[in-house]
A and B are shown apart, each in its own frame.
Chain A
Amino acid sequence: MNVTLTINGSTHQGDVEPRMLLVDFIRDVAGLTGTNIGCDTGQCGSCTVHLDGKSVKSCMVLAAQADGSSVTTIEGLASNGTLHPMQEAFRQNHGLQCGFCTPGMIMTAVKLVERNPDMSDAEVRHGLEGNLCRCTGYENIVKSVIAAAKDMGPHSPFEADRAAHRETLREAEEIASRRSE
């Protein structure tokens, strides 16, 4: 079947099997190998990308389900040659070792901070529980996320993304609250 996605601002189209996972579309059709596959059960989070502004594990979504959507991968996170504050914070705080979980970890962390810029150490740790790392013992990842939260303030070039994300979240919460009523 035909699937068309906008990935990091470029259009990618493929005639793929209906069972193809989004992560395989990103890696094999679009040729973007920054998104890694670390498991086959949705546990490790290495393949996390942003799908229409929300972080998702791209091994848990079919490419067909994402047809027509906009995806941001680790390759698309930097803006005009400037690293996203989360990328910079991982480097400054030694938040990575082998680097394999790092793209997914960064993509998750960006959305985590956009949702709540004032997290405690414990909140960051809780928020990252869907992403596994075997190298760092998480300590410097947590440090990186907290440092990035400080740099992702209102004057950040990424503020537009944050505002859009807050809007999405607000809508989602509204829907949720209507449902619970």
Chain B
Amino acid sequence: MTATIRPFGHDQKRVEDPRMITGQAKYTDDFTLPGMLHLAVVRSPFAHARITGIDTTAAEAMPGVRAVFTGAQMRDAGYGGIPCAWVVPDSGTVTPEHPPLAIDTVRYVGDAVAAVVADNDYLARDAAMAVEVDYEPLDVVTDAHAAHQDGAPQLHADAANNQCFKWTVAGGDIDAAFAEADVTVSERIINQRLVPMAMEPRSALAQVIGSMGEVTLWNTTQNPHIVRFLTSLDTPFPEHKIRVIAPDVGGGFGSKIPHYPEDTMVIYASQLTGAPVKWTETRSENFQATIHGRDHVQDVEMCAKSDGTITGIRATVWANLGAYLSTASTGVPTILHGLMLSGCYTIPNIHEDVYGMFTNTTPVDAYRGAGRPEAVFMVERLVDKVANALDMDPVDIRRQNFIPPFDDGHEVATGLIYDTGNYHGALDLALEKAGYEELRRAQEEARAEGRYMGIGVCTYVEICGLGPSEVAGAVGFGGGLWESAIVRFHPSGKVRLMVGVNPHGQGEQTTFAQVVADQMGVPVGDVDVFYGDTAQTPMGWGTYGSRTTAVAAGAIVGAMEKIKEKGRKIAAHLLEAAVEDIEFDDGKFYVKGSPEAAKTIQEIATAANVAWSMPEGVEPGLEASAFFNPSNFVYPFGAHIAVVEVDPETGEIDFQRYIAVDDCGPIINPMIVEGQVHGGIAQGVAQALWEGVEYDDAGNLLTSSLMDYAIPKAGSFPKFELGHTVTPTEVNPLGVKGIGETGTIGSTPAMYSAVMDALAPLGVEKVDMPLTPERVWRAIEAAKA
């Protein structure tokens, strides 16, 4: 036996890195084509107004300006509204028209009104400022709950009371549960609006080849195949004449899932001018015109027996969708939120009504976690409140209500069937790593000294690995959720893997190479993983919902099985043996019992590619394609613990420790998995402590730059303490679950809970997120009064 390291489970250094640490990575804005023009967008300064006139003459006369166009021109040229790709059934969903450029009404600050194409970006922006638009301002509503009230300003003629949908999930008998309860708790939770803030701004570059009727779109997207499909619906170009290239993509966090109006604007601009046209957003535009996340008003209640047994959860939620429907807007606060209200607990009775609401704000769509953070925060907050009401330790009430360990499915009251879980195991490990008993003793001592230390515990389960395509169809998603892969052996035995998913920081160029290397017995460095070009990759639905590895790995394994099967036939032929006697192990085919006379996979690849001597009926080449449609979602889970101390004089929070135990099944690359958790925790903690979008009453976006929206910095965090338990799933052949969103989902409730625990002796019962020093200080002062 050689002492080789198995690629699976190894801290393989990333193959993405060399280009990224040397400046050789290529992001969309890095592409310059000969004769390329630049597009700038004229955006509405009003949150709600009627457009009474657009005068482009001054702009058109400016130096370097090649074209100025409006929504009416795009419509007349055959460009339609931006499609919404998710319409939740049985919810009365209305899908108002969303023209790429507003035609007669603007509905949020940043809504696009006209576009300018010029020789360079500076000239384009100068001319954009010279486009004169006459507005007749209308009344404005920005809050989802307020938008639902009688007399609220109306955004869309087809959405009475601004309601896009009403969706209900129910299981058990919620009224009986509350009637028979010993204790009930309730709260209005504001799960505030956030900005995803990928560091790379969005960008789109289109090159229309008029004579061929085709277009290439370089785009900052998490899912090039979806963008191609949706672009075929709102431009005159059919799907087979559209090529979408997603080069290196600088983070997404959900914000690069949607198909955006600017994608179609650059295509029209290129068609109009006959030149390639590029648009890259400024960070200010990113705040206004790239989707936001979260933004729920939640009226929630939980009931329990006096021994701590939780018996029901009931909620009414107003989910702010913004001014228009983005690609997946309606699925986030329903399927990805409401179905998760049982959390990791046995809660037999559940009822939730969700109102999807239009408001005069930036469209809201998926932001890391997407629906699940809003569900887990709600459940965990209520569990803490029940524990407080019954004077129980937050750990004890969780243990008491956990779904017991299961490995073959567990159905919860919302109808979901969780795949596998061991919630006790994750919590026990987190408590051990944290030294929980010791922390509670330290807290007692701190309190005796007049210091306000807090310990927050969150136990969560989340739904990801989206998902079975039958379910996608049943819940109204306008696409499938399977994945495909092509594994191709070159004549020299090197391997190319092509996939339809589109990693943008998650490192699958490395982990997928590890999976191939592990199963085919080839060096990791011999595997080239390719994605991000609809012309060169098989169909796939993209990277989001912690699905990339959990779903695409099934297709990769399937393709490799076909390669192995064909390799066996070729090896049998070369070794003059029967196919059924051929074994494959560690990159070698050999006759059972005589491993010394082996053919390596590389030799087989050469033989198959030259095809000088193939077995009867076997085609040349060594390449296979496979599709994988998972049988269920996957349900990663974990336990997070935060430790803080609050200064009651200033409201400042000293963030002392963070312990996270996550279970994503078997780990392919621990280094990458831990990196995903680090980043997730940072974003989730940021929601609890720092980040929040603010609009004023007129709908002006007050947090419209990095000067007034507080994303965390290096000094914001202590060193994170991580651990893992391993509970494989049966849903895919590698047993893996997703890890991209767990950190975000677990950390907001853990951090919030820690701060509330610290403030408990001061009589503070509630502070809305983000827990800025000012808000905490005001709450402390109010509690004194």
Contact = CB atoms under 8 A, between A and B. Distances in A.
A39 B23 contact: no
Contact of A100 (B120, B199, B679, B681): B199
Contacts of B120: 28
Contacts of B450: none
Interface in B257-313: 282-284
A140 B19 CA distance: 18
Contact of A36 (B27, B32, B683): B27
Given A97-B507, A102-B21, A128 B198 contact: no
Contacts of A58: none
Contacts of A99: 16-17, 19-21, 25, 248, 250, 505
A50 B19 CA distance: 20
B682 interface: yes
B553 interface: no
Nearest to B680: A137
A17 to B, nearest CB: 6
A152 to B, nearest CB: 15
A19 B122 contact: yes
Given A32-B23, A73-B23, A134 B679 contact: yes
A91 B15 CA distance: 9
B442 interface: no
A91 B705 contact: no
Interface string A115-139: 0000001101110110111111111
A35 B199 contact: no
Nearest to A92: B13
A100 B200 contact: yes
B17 A90 contact: yes
Contacts of A125: 713-715, 717
Contact of A134 (B25, B197, B671): B197
Contact of A132 (B249, B507, B706): B706
Most buried by A among B20, B678, B683, B714: B714
A77 B250 CA distance: 21
B17 A33 contact: no
A55 interface: no
Contacts of A141: 714
Nearest to B708: A41
Interface string B21-65: 111111101101000000000000000000000000000000000
Contacts of A73: 23
Contact of B707 (A41, A90, A121): A41
Nearest to A143: B719
A139 B717 contact: yes
B200 A102 contact: no
A129 B120 CA distance: 32
A103 B711 CA distance: 19
Contact of A138 (B21, B284, B682, B705): B682
B720 interface: yes
Given A44-B283, A98-B504, A132-B199, A139 B21 contact: no
A36 B707 contact: no
Given A38-B199, A134-B198, A97 B505 contact: yes
B467 interface: no
A142 interface: yes
B253 interface: yes
B617 interface: no
Dominant SS at the A interface?
A: loop
B506 interface: yes
A83 B504 CA distance: 24
A91 B22 CA distance: 11
B200 A98 contact: yes
A64 interface: no
Contact of B21 (A27, A91, A137): A91
A40 B282 contact: yes
B200 A34 contact: no
Contacts of B13: 91-92, 94
Nearest to B123: A17
A149 interface: no
Given A35-B23, A43-B707, A102-B21, A129 B283 contact: no
A122 B680 CA distance: 21
Given A37-B29, A38-B199, A43-B706, A124 B714 contact: yes
B89 interface: no
A139 B719 contact: yes
A122 B715 CA distance: 7
A75 B22 contact: yes
A71 interface: no
A128 to B, nearest CB: 4
A135 B21 contact: no
Contacts of B121: 24
Contact of B671 (A20, A39, A94, A124): A94
B22 A129 contact: no
Nearest to B505: A98
B678 A139 contact: yes
Contacts of A32: 23
A137 B201 contact: no
A17 B714 CA distance: 36
Given A44-B199, A103-B23, A138 B714 contact: yes
A70 B682 CA distance: 37
A133 B282 contact: no
A90 B22 CA distance: 11
B21 A38 contact: no
A135 B713 CA distance: 12
Contacts of B719: 121, 139
A96 B17 contact: yes
Interface string A158-175: 000000000000000000
Interface in A11-51: 17, 19-20, 24, 27-28, 31-41, 43-44, 46
B375 interface: no
Given A134-B711, A140-B678, A41 B283 contact: yes
Given A73-B23, A96-B21, A132-B711, A137 B717 contact: yes
B21 A98 contact: no
Nearest to A84: B21
A53 to B, nearest CB: 19
A78 interface: yes
B373 interface: no
Contacts of B282: 40
B458 interface: no
A38 B200 contact: yes
Nearest to A88: B21
A43 B283 CA distance: 10
Contacts of B200: 36, 38, 98, 100
Nearest to A138: B714
B251 interface: yes
A78 B250 contact: no
Nearest to A123: B715
A113 interface: no
B675 interface: yes
B672 interface: yes
Contact of B199 (A91, A101, A138): A101
B743 to A, nearest CB: 8
Interface in A68-110: 73-75, 77-78, 83, 87, 90-92, 94, 96-103, 106
29 contacts: A27-B30, A33-B23, A33-B26, A33-B29, A38-B200, A40-B705, A41-B284, A74-B21, A83-B21, A91-B21, A94-B13, A96-B20, A101-B199, A103-B23, A122-B715, A124-B714, A126-B714, A133-B714, A134-B197, A134-B198, A134-B253, A137-B678, A137-B681, A137-B712, A137-B717, A138-B678, A138-B682, A139-B719, A140-B675
Given A24-B121, A91-B21, 16 more contacts: A34-B24, A44-B199, A73-B23, A75-B23, A78-B22, A94-B672, A98-B249, A106-B21, A126-B715, A133-B714, A134-B683, A135-B251, A137-B680, A137-B682, A137-B712, A137-B720
Query: 6 closest A-B pairs (Cβ-Cβ)?
Result: A34-B23, A100-B250, A99-B20, A98-B505, A137-B682, A43-B706
